[in-house]
Amino acid sequence: MNEIDYQLRRSSRRTISIEITPGGGVLVRAPQRASRADIERMLARHAGWIEQKRREQALRQAAWPEPDAAQEQALRARARAEIPPLVDCWAARMGVAVTGVKITSARTRFGSCSAKNALCFSWRLMQHPPEAVEAVVVHELAHVRHKNHGSAFYAEVERFLPDYRQRIRGLRIPEEESKT
C-alpha cells in the first residue's frame, strides 16, 4: 500500500481527524499522545475515503475555481446586497426571527445558524444558481425552529420549498449529481 503524505498538527484534542485541504493535501489533527503508528493505521484504514475526497476536491476546484481578487470583491458585494433581503423575505414567510445576518469567507459551509439565531452565509454561495442560494437561506432559517437535521427539520424546509432537493443539486459537484 502507498504511504499517504500528510501534514500533522498536534493539540490537546482527544481524537484523530483527517481533513482534505482545498489543494488536495491531507491534514491530520491528533492528540499530543497519539503515536505515529496510530496515525498511520488510521490513514491506512481511511485510504479509500481520502482518495474519494481528493477526487471530489479536484472536481470542485474545476467546477468553481477560486476567484481572483476582483471577482471575490464582486461576489462579496452581491452577497451583501442580495442575501439579507432574501433572509428578511423568507423569515417573514416562515414566521421566524433572526438576530443578525453576516457574510463570511467560509470555505467548507455555505451557511450556518447559531444557537442565538444569528445566520452566517459564505460569499462563495453567490457562485451558484439563485435557486440554490434561496434553498440555503430557507435551510438556515429552518434551523431557527429545528437545531438539527432531523425529519422535522426537513419537513419544515420542504413545506416552504417542495423542490428543495432539486434546488440544492446546484451546489453539488458534477460527479455527485450523477449519484443522486
Q: Which domains does the chain have, with CATH numbers?
A: 7-63 (no CATH), 69-179 (3.30.2010.10)
Strands 111-113 and 26-31 come out as unpaired
pLDDT value of residue 3: 83
pLDDT value of residue 108: 78
Query: Is 153 within 8 Å of 146 (Cβ atoms)?
Result: yes
pLDDT value of residue 1: 47
pLDDT value of residue 149: 95
User: How far is the C-alpha of 141 from the C-alpha of 112, rounded, in Å?
Assistant: 9
Q: Is 144 helix (H, G, I), strand (E, B) or coil?
A: helix
Residues in the chain where the model's pLDDT stays below 70: 1-2, 173-180
Q: In angstroms, how far is CA 69 from the centroid of its own chain?
A: 22
